[in-house]
Amino acid sequence: MKQFFYAVVICIFALSACTTPFKKTKDGSEYKVISLKSGKRLQTGNFLEMNSVAMYKETGKDTVLFNSLESGMPEFGLYDTANFPHPFKDAFKTVHVGDSIVIKIPADSLIAKGQNAPFMKKGGFIYQTFTITNAYTSKEQVDSVQKIYMAIVQKKDSIAAKEQIVKDDKLIQEYLTKNKISAVKGPQGTYIEIINPGTGNLPDSNQVVMVNYTGQTFDGAKFDSNTDSTIAQRIEPYPIDLAHPQVIAGWIEGLKMLKKGAKARFFIPSVLAYGKRGNGKIKPNENLMFDIAIPDIISQAQYGEIMKKKQAEQMAQQQMMQQLQQQMQQQKQGGK
């Protein structure tokens, strides 16, 4: 499906390049309008519905940055060119439903303004293509159409997620069987290998679980840890407030099955981790493993006291640094 979308984008660029010349704007950007002139002309106050594609192009390299066709959700916006920035003000000045607008922005100008992304290099260009698919006269009409698109996208995502769950589960089961690992499967799909069961009660939603962890992919590549000094930014237990957990769903499912002192390994399907988008070193739709240890389970009140102590320590350190900086400045002034 992606290849089809990218092919459409390439065709748009190729067609527009052959038939319509670019026009330059005051800021050095360029644009062209590929107009069928058969659709309704847009009026100020209308609401646009359009598909958009953004590409970064440099010599020998084309990168698709965004594609609303792929996401399944068009962009909507108020048509009021008086408030559009350049070069959009010029490019959208006279357009109709069915028209396509191509905007070419040199990376050099973005770099000069400090608006560039890290991957941009001098000589490169950002190409943006907008195809106007409809126009509406009221916000209520737009809201109604957006709801329809949202329902379609959600249904598509739900179907894709169900298919991915099956794939993830099969891969995890194959790994466990191959390595002769005995693990319990949670209701959502996380597999938990209990290495040390720990003691006491299982945590409830009013408690904070202190966690030591190391995460790795199924091929053994470590990507995060708070115990491995080669990759850890801070060596100390990581608190997970079960009332408001800010971690992936696979962790939440696994932690609820661990007591104080427990050691375990989580085998987390991608749909309960970082999903189709991935995260940094983690590829899209990648299953993950976490070595987990629970040194302590504490109450909300105990956690609050720990946080107060940390904040006091941080304030004391900041004050000490300020005093040192003042002393250094005084010494410099005294030496002049």
Are residues 172 and 114 part of one domain? Answer: no
153/146: higher pLDDT: 146
Q: Between residues 173 and 107, which one has the greater pLDDT?
A: 173
Q: What is the 3-state secondary structure (H, E, C) of the chain?
A: CHHHHHHHHHHHHHHHHHHCCCEECCCCCEEEEECCCCCCECCCCCEEEEEEEEEEEECCEEEEEEEHHHHCCCEEEECCHHHCCCCHHHHCCCCECCCEEEEEEEHHHHHHHCCCCCCCCCCCEEEEEEEEEEEECCHHHHHHHHHHHHHHHHHHHHHHHHHHHHHHHHHHHHHHHHCCCCCEECCCCCEEEEEECCECCCCCCCEEEEEEEEEEECCCCEEEECCCCCCCCCCCCEEEECCCCCCCHHHHHHHCCCCECCEEEEEECHHHCCHHHCECCECCCCCEEEEEEEEEEEEHHHHHHHHHHHHHHHHHHHHHHHHHHHHHHHHHHHHC
pTM above 0.75, yes or no: no
Q: Are residues 30 and 133 in the same domain?
A: yes
Residues 273 and 221 in one domain: yes
Residues 36 and 131 placed together within one structural domain of the fold = yes
Mean pLDDT (whole number) for 96-114: 89
Find the CATH number of the domain harbouring 260: 3.10.50.40
Of 58 and 167, more confident: 167
Overall number of domains in the chain = 2
The verdict on residue 26 lying in a domain is yes
* pLDDT exceeds cutoff 90 at 86: no
Per-residue pLDDT for 130 more than 90? yes
The pLDDT of 153-180, averaged and rounded, is: 91
Q: What is the pLDDT of residues 227-256, one digit of tens each?
A: 988 877 677 889 999 988 889 999 999 999
The domain in which residue 231 lies consists of 163-299
Q: Determine the pLDDT at residue 257.
A: 94
133 shares its domain with 6: yes
Q: What is the pLDDT of residue 328?
A: 81
Tell me: pLDDT of 273 over 90: yes
